[in-house]
Structures are given as structure tokens and as C-alpha cells.
């Protein structure tokens, strides 16, 4: 059973309502009669309330008994923002939201922030942001640098890419695309693996291919994004700020065409991400180059030497005092084969997605195989749990 619930006061359900809500903002539709928040009722309602698209509004009465009083629509826009398929979305209503993704697997959010996750018998208060610092980021650096260089070659000499803010923005786009790939594989709920490596040594590629459409689309998107920004800057500084009465038609058309082309490349990247993730449905891993091109799928790892110990890092930068030694035999065959390969090939980076949805990353650091869990792949902000606890609210009196 999967579902999303939000703690929303029915007497004050929208305290932060904007003066002019946009058409795609959520609304709460009340049930004719509130229902007790019981297991049988949740099982029934979960079938009608897909957590990707809707949210159950719940609250508690003067007896501290919880009840379901409404359904919240337009959740899909927040969901697509979380998985990085759109740039914006209204935060869900309520004090906090709880998303159940599996047995004893609950994640709590507040607005755009992550508060914590109960995964079986472990309480996780922070997500592992490995994509911006530490060994994982170092392994991704080659692909990001190739991407930035390819964009620079498409621009005029001494173009806008020399500005630090563009480099940071484009690196975010590239990293976000990798996260989208992992999320898309995760959503199949069958398990899968993505290996980023420079060669095919010790690999048996059952289905070889050379799929470079995603790297090219990323470069095209970046170039078009810079064109749009530069054109808008010219319009703003030379015409709008100067209170000009007219705007050259060719400049207007250039801005309009660039904006439409930008959206086209965004949709193309979505298609590439979905296509690559679908390759993970075949037994074996998906092999990617450092720039996110695909060299094959259904790949079998031939490395035979087992890894004796794996070190689990709670943070992006592994430190001796915080590392926890785990036995590789506690993991399935997909994990163990990836451990063998990444230990034998120090520059390789492996991602393994379990059937339960857990995404793990691993690579060799010096003479140790380091693994990370609870990766921060969704577009969320960290929050201090204690500061996020609201002041006690009045309990709802049910008639």
C-alpha cells in the first residue's frame, strides 16, 4: 500500500493562500462525512488516492482521534518537481506530509523540506547529499567537465559560460539529470543498476549500443538556455529599462523561438531519461560513459574476486570515525557484483537500486569499498527537525 497524507486543520486549511492563486494550485475537496483514520479505511482510500496525484487530508479531534476529512488534488505538480521533471510546484498544504512507500517505510516532509524517514527499524534524519561533495562528486567531475567544455565550444569565444553562475547552474542541470535517471529506475520497483565507467573491461555486454542522445540534448539545452537569458537581458536593459515604445520584431522573434526551442530540449531530455531507465528492466546493469551516454544494457560483471568488507558512510565525505563496516554477504547478487567491479576498478562509480526502492552508490576510495545509502535524489531542502515542529494548534471539534 502506497499513500500520501497531510495533517491539515479543516478549520484553517489554507492560511497562506496567495492573493491570486494560479489555476494549477491544489484545492481540498471535503468528504461529505469524515472517516476514522483506521487501517481498513486507509487500505480502501489508498486505491483511490494515488500518492503521485493526490493526498489525503487528515486531522485529529478533541479526543486525539485522527480522521480523514478530504482529498487534495494537483499533487502531481509537486510530485513532478520532486523528481526533477519540472522546476516549480506548490508545496502541499498542512503542518506536514507523510508518504508511505512500502512496509515500515515512511518519509515525513514539511513544505519543500525533508524531516526524516523511518526505514524498517532505522530512523534517518538527514539524506546523503553525495552529488555535491566527496568521492561520488569527484567521480562525476569528469562527465561534468566534458559537458561544460562541449557547451563552451558551441558558444562564441569568451562566451557567457565563463561566468561562475553559469557553470554552477549547468552542473546542477547535469547532476539533476543523473538523479532523474536513478529515480526513474527506482519507480519501476523491480531493482536495477547503473554503472558509470570509462571502459568495458571485465564486462559482458549482452546488448551493445551507442546511445549518445542524452549528452547531446544536455548540451543543446544549455546553449539554448544561455541564448534565452542573453536575449532577455538585451530586451530588459536596452528597451524595457529605457522605456522604449517599440521592440524590434526580429529581437522579439529570436526570444520567442529560443524559448520554444528550450522547451523542446527539456521534453527531449525527459524522453531520453525514460528510455534509458527502461533498459534497466532487462537482467543486468546499464553501462554508461562519464558523460551519460549509454554503451549497452543487460551487462554482466565478470569480476570474480569478492570484496571482504564494505564501509558504509553516513555522509558524503567518508571519515574513519563515522564509517560502519558491513558484510557484503548481507546484500543480494546485484549489489555484490557491483561491489566486486567497483573495488577492482577504482575510477568506476556504481548505483544499485533495490526492489524496495533503496538507491545505493559505491566506489573505491584508496583501499576501501565505500557505499552510501539514503541518497538525496529528490529536489528537497534539509530542515532542522526541532525548528520545524509548529506550536500546538487547537484541536478540531467534530459535530
Domain ranges of the chain: 3-127+381-388, 135-372
User: Residue 248 above 90 pLDDT?
Assistant: no
Listed residue (385, 394, 376) closest to 108, CA to CA: 385
User: Residue 115 above 70 pLDDT?
Assistant: yes
Q: Is the dihedral of CA 227, 233, 238, 240 positive or negative?
A: positive
Q: Which three cell numbers stand for residue 204?
A: 559482458
| 136 alpha-carbon distance from chain centroid | 16
How does residue 389 score in pLDDT terms, banded at 50, 70 and 90? very low
Q: Provide the pLDDT for residue 158.
A: 59
The answer to whether the beta carbons of residues 139 and 133 sit under 8 Å apart is no
% of the chain exceeding 90 in pLDDT: 63
User: Residue 1 above 50 pLDDT?
Assistant: yes
In this predicted model, which residue has the larger pLDDT, 199 or 248?
Answer: 199
% of the chain exceeding 70 in pLDDT: 91
In this predicted model, which residue has the larger pLDDT, 26 or 161?
Answer: 26
The Cα–Cα gap between 10 and 26 comes to 15
Cβ count within 10 A of residue 303: 18
Mean pLDDT calculated for residue range 52-77 = 94
Q: What is the pLDDT of residues 256-286, one digit of tens each?
A: 888 889 999 999 999 999 999 999 999 999 9
Q: Provide the pLDDT for residue 121.
A: 78
The Cα–Cα gap between 114 and 134 comes to 21
For every residue of 200-230, DSSP letters joined together read: -TTEEEEEEEEE-HHHHHHHHHHHHHHHHHH
Q: Provide the pLDDT for residue 388.
A: 44
User: Residue 390 above 50 pLDDT?
Assistant: no
Place of cell 574513519: 320
Listed residue (278, 300, 275, 274) closest to 287, CA to CA: 300
Q: Look at strands 66-72 and 55-60 and give their pairing.
A: antiparallel
Out of 20-34, 45-59, 90-104, 205-219, which region has the weakest mean confidence (pLDDT)? 90-104
Q: Provide the pLDDT for residue 125.
A: 81
Mean pLDDT calculated for residue range 41-55 = 90
How does residue 242 score in pLDDT terms, banded at 50, 70 and 90? low
Q: Which residues pair with 113 in a beta bridge?
A: 110, 381
CATH number (3.30.750.24, 1.10.357.10, 3.40.1700.10, 3.20.10.10) of 135-372 reads: 3.40.1700.10
How does residue 311 score in pLDDT terms, banded at 50, 70 and 90? very high
Cβ count within 10 A of residue 344: 18
Angle between helix 213-235 and helix 164-186 axes, rounded to 10 deg: 140
Helix (H) or strand (E) holding 75: helix 75-82
The Cα–Cα gap between 332 and 238 comes to 62
Cβ count within 10 A of residue 89: 21
Give the chain's mean pLDDT: 89
User: Residue 391 above 60 pLDDT?
Assistant: no
Q: Provide the pLDDT for residue 291.
A: 96
User: Residue 103 above 70 pLDDT?
Assistant: yes
Amino acid at each position: 500500500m502506497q499513500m500520501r497524507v497531510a495533517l491539515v486543520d479543516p478549520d484553517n486549511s489554507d492560511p497562506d493562500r496567495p492573493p491570486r492563486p494560479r489555476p494549477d494550485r491544489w484545492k481540498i475537496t471535503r468528504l461529505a462525512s469524515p472517516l476514522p483514520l483506521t487501517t481498513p479505511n486507509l487500505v480502501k482510500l489508498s486505491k483511490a488516492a494515488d500518492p503521485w496525484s493526490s493526498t489525503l487530508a487528515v486531522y485529529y479531534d478533541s479526543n486525539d482521534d485522527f480522521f480523514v476529512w478530504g482529498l487534495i488534488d494537483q499533487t502531481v505538480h509537486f510530485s513532478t518537481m520532486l523528481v526533477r521533471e519540472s522546476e516549480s510546484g506548490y508545496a502541499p498544504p498542512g503542518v506536514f506530509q507523510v508518504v508511505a512507500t512500502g512496509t515500515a517505510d515512511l518519509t515525513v516532509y514539511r513544505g519543500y523540506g525533508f524531516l526524516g524517514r523511518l526505514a524498517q527499524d532505522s530512523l534517518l534524519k538527514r539524506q546523503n547529499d553525495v552529488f555535491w561533495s566527496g568521492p561520488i562528486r569527484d567521480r562525476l567531475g569528469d562527465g561534468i567537465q566534458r559537458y561544460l567544455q562541449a557547451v563552451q565550444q558551441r558558444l562564441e569565444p569568451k562566451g557567457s559560460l565563463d561566468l561562475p553562475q553559469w557553470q554552477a547552474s549547468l552542473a546542477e542541470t547535469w547532476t539533476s539529470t543523473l538523479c532523474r535517471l536513478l529515480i526513474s529506475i527506482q519507480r519501476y520497483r523491480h531493482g536495477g543498476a547503473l554503472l558509470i565507467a570509462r571502459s568495458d573491461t571485465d564486462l559482458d555486454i549482452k546488448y551493445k549500443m551507442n546511445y549518445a542522445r542524452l549528452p547531446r540534448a544536455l548540451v543543446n539545452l544549455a546553449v539554448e538556455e544561455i541564448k534565452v537569458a542573453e536575449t532577455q537581458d538585451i530586451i530588459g536593459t536596452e528597451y524595457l529599462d529605457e522605456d522604449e515604445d517599440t521592440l524590434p520584431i526580429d529581437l522579439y522573434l529570436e526570444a520567442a523561438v529560443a524559448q520554444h526551442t528550450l522547451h523542446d530540449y527539456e521534453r527531449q531530455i525527459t524522453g531520453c531519461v525514460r528510455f534509458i531507465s527502461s533498459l534497466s528492466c532487462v537482467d543486468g546493469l546499464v553501462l554508461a560513459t562519464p558523460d551519460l551516454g549509454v554503451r549497452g544494457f543487460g551487462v554482466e560483471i565478470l569480476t570474480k574476486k569478492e570484496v571482504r568488507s564494505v564501509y558504509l558512510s553516513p555522509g558524503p565525505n567518508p571519515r574513519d570515525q563515522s564509517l560502519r563496516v558491513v558484510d557484503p554477504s548481507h546484500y543480494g547478487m546485484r549489489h555484490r557484483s557491483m561491489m566486486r567491479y567497483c573495488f577492482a576498478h577504482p575510477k568506476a562509480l556504481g548505483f544499485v537500486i533495490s526492489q524496495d526502492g533503496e538507491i545505493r552508490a559505491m566506489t573505491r576510495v584508496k583501499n576501501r569499498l565505500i557505499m552510501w545509502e539514503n541518497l538525496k535524489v529528490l529536489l528537497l531542502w534539509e530542515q532542522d527537525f526541532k525548528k520545524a515542529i509548529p506550536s500546538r494548534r487547537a484541536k478540531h471539534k467534530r459535530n
